[in-house]
């Protein structure tokens, strides 16, 4: 066993290149063993095992900086940089994170989690290094999917005209989460296919040149002919034209040739360079190679079959996607938009049934929002399904391109609230603070699948301005579901779920069950609690809330989001001063970033699980 002797990169560098393939197999095996138990981003990490080994073998990390775009492919990197044993607890509460973390290791150059930041980080790191007159190398590893994100081009625009020594590794597996989309993806595919052609061309030209007498003339003639097609035929010409030297494409699973190319590029100590590396997503585990999208991010699974454990219930995402597909049958103006997350947001049925009204725009959240806004000018009803955390990218677009013009864009905010094991870069804790501060927006939050469905029906009819609906990650606990409209939803009306004279809990979404549990825990103490489902976070039903407040002695607000800027603060700011005094607490996530772990653990840590809340309330009401 080689891996058990690798306690850090120094041990790796002691190995002969002849041993590196065997090490790659062991690393793969270990990743599979741990991720099948813990869940995680399997396919992307399996795809870059050889690349990771080659990078740490050639470069002098941690002095040289490797910057992983998104960071979901960093498992081999963590295992080889002194975290082999810690890897067993990856993504668990208190264990190491699933993404690079500077505080975890000096080998993690920056924290990442959202896509397309690596080139800006590399540009900044390289320019900073030059200003500080240091000599280290800066290497960004970016996937072809992440190259659909606008930030990457903003960075390339600057990188292409600096003289700074930056190395970009383009990890091209032709996949984002699903197949990659868009013009750049098409260009990369053409490079790969034209590289085979180029090899053939080089060989033929050598033969032509060798023909006695006419060889040279024929060579010149054919060269000119090819020159006119240069942009089409020379790999990477687009990057070269942008001022970035292009190398490749090379086989990302051939460690020796990877090391050779990296060594050569490392010796060029000026200007930006890009190495185009071709890898296979899911490499070495057949179920993941066959279905990389399913194994992109996956829960614990059985290695033998590739099947996940546990009963699968209908998720909020599926309800949103299926309701939209259902609605779109009769309403030809409904379109669905995703920014590279069609699987996660449950839009596959919509895509299958109405492909002409389905748009995957790539990892381009800013563009997605503005694109949706402009569609409304033609009477289209755009539904943009997007994770809360990724919507953060598009704050200005929400304000400038939707809010100000009051355009009827429908935004389905998936994974709102804490999301568990992906941790601080992925929690959806800021959407309330963002959207409730943008005029014209309606912001809704269902606590059941039925509420979500009926809110989507409402949104499909609401042409007077933008509507956003936030809902949590996970299942609704029911499979028996109809996608016909149930109760006609009217925004701006609270729903009192239980009657109570002592305490009111104003809450919404997936905190409704928590509030009900708090109520039960307080019953033995003689406290009767009114649980109130807000349903609409903006505009708040202030008369309804004040009516409830008048009937109780105390109240709290409870939400799965940041307290600061949240719905609780909105209530505090809006109710009459004499009633405001009754509100003892705005419960939610306090002003610090929330780590990774199960949501139950994260709620407990923030003191917003039912037991902690009941305890706090008993104290406060005393
Ligand atoms: C801003 C943003 N939007 C969406 C995502 C979700 N996401 C994570 S990885 C990924 C695909 C990345 O594709 P690529 O860069 O090619 O890496 P691969 O997984 O194929 O190795 C997406 C869409 C994200 N991390 N950040």
Instruction: Convert the pLDDT of each residue in 211-249 to its tens digit.
Output: 777 777 776 766 665 555 555 557 788 999 999 999 999
For 258-278, b/e burial (b = at least 16 CB within 10 A) is: bbebbeebbeeeeebbbbbbb
Task: Look up the CATH number of the domain holding residue 526.
Answer: 3.40.50.920
What is the pLDDT, as a whole number, of residue 165?
A: 97
Distance of CA 82 from the midpoint of ligand 1 (Å):
26
Q: What is the mean pLDDT of the chain?
A: 95
What is the pLDDT, as a whole number, of residue 211?
A: 77
Residue 201 forms part of a structural domain: no
Question: Tens of pLDDT along 103-113?
Answer: 999 999 999 99
Q: Are strands 358-360 and 536-538 parallel, antiparallel or unpaired?
A: unpaired
What is the pLDDT, as a whole number, of residue 233?
A: 53
Residue 228 forms part of a structural domain: no
- Indicate whether residue 393 lines ligand 1 (CB < 6 A): yes
Number of domains into which the chain is organized: 3
Q: Are residues 428 and 499 located together in one domain of the fold?
A: no
Q: How far is CA 141 from the centre of its chain?
A: 17
pLDDT at residue 193 is higher than 90 = no
Question: Tens of pLDDT along 263-307?
Answer: 999 999 999 999 999 999 999 999 999 999 999 999 999 999 999
Phi/psi region, residue 607 (left: phi>0; alpha: psi -120 to 50; beta: rest), is: left
CB 156 within 8 A of CB 242: yes
Per DSSP, 555 falls in state: E
Residues 33-59: what's their mean pLDDT?
98
Known catalytic membership, residue 393: yes
Q: What is d(CA 306, CA 288) in angstroms, rounded to the nearest whole number?
A: 8
Residue 167 forms part of a structural domain: yes
What is the pLDDT, as a whole number, of residue 224?
A: 64
Look up residue 404 and give its two tokens. Answer: 């100000």
Q: Are residues 106 and 154 located together in one domain of the fold?
A: yes
For 112-151, b/e burial (b = at least 16 CB within 10 A) is: bbbbbbbbbbbbebbbebeeeeeebbbbbbbbbbbbbbeb
First to last CA, the chain: 62
- Indicate whether residue 367 lines ligand 1 (CB < 6 A): no
- Indicate whether residue 366 lines ligand 1 (CB < 6 A): no
Phi, psi of 153 (to 5 degrees): -80, -30
Residue 563 forms part of a structural domain: yes
Q: Are residues 165 and 263 located together in one domain of the fold?
A: yes
Residue 230 forms part of a structural domain: no
CB 607 within 8 A of CB 493: no
Known catalytic membership, residue 85: no
- Work out which ligand 1 atom sits closest to the CA atom of 340: 23
Of residues 479 and 248, more confidence is placed in: 248
Look up residue 390 and give its two tokens. Answer: 């990724």
- Indicate whether residue 177 lines ligand 1 (CB < 6 A): yes
Look up residue 113 and give its two tokens. Answer: 């989690």
- Indicate whether residue 118 lines ligand 1 (CB < 6 A): no
Q: Are residues 337 and 398 located together in one domain of the fold?
A: yes
Residues 202-210: what's their mean pLDDT?
70
Question: Which of 69, 283, 363 maximizes ligand 1 atoms within 8 Å of its Cβ, making it the mutation to test the pocket?
Answer: 363
Residue 22 forms part of a structural domain: yes
Residue 214 forms part of a structural domain: no
Task: Look up the CATH number of the domain holding residue 105.
Answer: 3.40.50.970
Q: Are residues 98 and 247 located together in one domain of the fold?
A: yes
Q: Are residues 260 and 389 located together in one domain of the fold?
A: no
Q: What is d(CA 348, CA 351) in angstroms, rounded to the nearest whole number?
A: 5
Q: Are residues 273 and 141 located together in one domain of the fold?
A: yes
- Indicate whether residue 390 lines ligand 1 (CB < 6 A): yes
Known catalytic membership, residue 487: no
What is the pLDDT, as a whole number, of residue 190?
A: 84
Residues 175-182: what's their mean pLDDT?
90
Distance of CA 112 from the midpoint of ligand 1 (Å):
11
Residues 78-85: what's their mean pLDDT?
98
- Indicate whether residue 99 lines ligand 1 (CB < 6 A): no
Distance of CA 114 from the midpoint of ligand 1 (Å):
7
Question: Tens of pLDDT along 538-565?
Answer: 999 999 999 999 999 999 999 999 999 9
What is the pLDDT, as a whole number, of residue 205?
A: 66
Question: Which of 144, 145, 294 maximizes ligand 1 atoms within 8 Å of its Cβ, making it the mutation to test the pocket?
Answer: 145
What is the pLDDT, as a whole number, of residue 147?
A: 96
Domain that holds residue 365: 316-470
Q: Which of 28, 78, 101, 281 is catalytic?
A: 281
Question: Which of 120, 141, 177 maximizes ligand 1 atoms within 8 Å of its Cβ, making it the mutation to test the pocket?
Answer: 177
Q: Are residues 373 and 409 located together in one domain of the fold?
A: yes
Q: Which residue's CA is the nearest one to ligand 1's atom 21? A: 44
What does pTM read for this prediction?
0.94
- Indicate whether residue 279 lines ligand 1 (CB < 6 A): no
């Amino acid at each position: 066993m080689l891996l058990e002797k690798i306690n850090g990169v120094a041990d790796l560098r002691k190995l002969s290149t002849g041993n590196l393939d065997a090490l790659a197999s062991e690393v793969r095996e270990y990743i599979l063993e741990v991720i099948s138990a813990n869940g995680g981003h399997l396919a992307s990490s399996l795809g870059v095992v050889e690349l990771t080994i080659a990078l740490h073998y050639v470069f002098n990390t941690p002095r040289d900086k490797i910057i992983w775009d998104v960071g979901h492919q960093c498992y081999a990197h963590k295992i080889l940089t002194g975290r082999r044993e810690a890897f067993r607890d990856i993504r668990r509460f208190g264990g190491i994170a699933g993404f690079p973390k500077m505080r975890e290791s000096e080998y993690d150059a920056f924290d990442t989690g959202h896509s397309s930041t690596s080139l800006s980080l590399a540009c900044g790191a390289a320019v900073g290094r030059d200003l500080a007159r240091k000599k280290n190398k800066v290497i960004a590893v970016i996937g072809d999917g992440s190259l659909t994100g606008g930030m990457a081009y903003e960075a390339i625009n600057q990188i292409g005209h600096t003289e700074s020594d930056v190395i970009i590794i383009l990890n091209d597996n032709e996949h984002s989460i699903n197949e990659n989309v868009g013009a750049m993806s098409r260009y990369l595919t053409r490079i790969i296919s034209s590289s085979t052609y180029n090899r053939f061309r080089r060989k033929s030209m050598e033969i032509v040149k060798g023909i006695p007498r006419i060889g040279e003339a024929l060579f010149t003639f054919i060269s000119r002919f090819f020159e006119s097609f240069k942009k089409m035929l020379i790999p990477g010409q687009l990057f070269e034209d942008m001022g970035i030297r292009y190398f490749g494409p090379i086989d990302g699973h051939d460690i020796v040739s990877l090391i050779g190319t990296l060594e050569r590029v490392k010796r060029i100590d000026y200007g930006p360079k890009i190495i185009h590396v071709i890898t296979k997503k899911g490499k070495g585990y057949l179920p993941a190679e066959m279905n990389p999208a399913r194994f992109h991010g996956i829960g614990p699974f059985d290695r033998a079959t590739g099947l996940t454990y546990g009963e699968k219930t209908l998720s909020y995402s599926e309800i949103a996607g299926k309701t939209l597909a259902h609605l779109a049958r009769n309403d030809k103006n409904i379109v669905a938009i995703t920014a590279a997350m069609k699987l996660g947001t449950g839009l596959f049925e919509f895509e299958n049934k109405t492909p002409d009204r389905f748009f995957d725009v790539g990892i381009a959240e800013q563009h997605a929002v503005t694109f949706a806004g402009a569609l409304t000018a033609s009477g289209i009803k755009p539904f943009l399904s997007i994770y809360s955390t990724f919507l953060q990218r598009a704050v200005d677009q929400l304000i400038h391109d939707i809010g100000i013009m009051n355009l009827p864009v429908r935004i389905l905010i998936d994974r709102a609230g804490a999301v568990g094991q992906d941790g601080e870069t992925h929690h959806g804790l800021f959407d309330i603070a963002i959207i409730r501060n943008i005029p014209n927006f309606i912001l809704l939050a269902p606590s059941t699948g039925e509420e979500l469905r009926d809110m989507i029906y409402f949104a499909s009819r609401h042409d007077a301005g933008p509507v956003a609906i936030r809902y949590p990650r996970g299942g609704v606990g029911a499979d028996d579901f109809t996608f016909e409209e149930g109760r006609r939803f009217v925004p701006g009306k609270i729903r009192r779920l239980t009657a109570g004279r002592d305490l009111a809990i104003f809450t919404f979404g997936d905190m409704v069950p928590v509030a009900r549990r708090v109520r039960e825990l307080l019953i033995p103490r003689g406290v009767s609690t009114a649980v109130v489902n807000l349903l609409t976070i903006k505009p708040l039903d202030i008369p309804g809330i004040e009516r409830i407040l008048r009937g109780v002695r105390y109240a709290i607000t409870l939400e799965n989001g940041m307290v600061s800027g949240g719905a609780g603060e909105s209530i505090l700011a809006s109710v009459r001063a004499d009633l405001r005094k009754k509100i003892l607490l705005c419960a939610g996530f306090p002003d610090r970033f929330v780590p990774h772990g199960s949501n139950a653990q994260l709620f407990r840590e923030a003191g917003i699980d039912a037991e902690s809340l009941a305890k706090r309330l008993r104290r406060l009401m005393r």
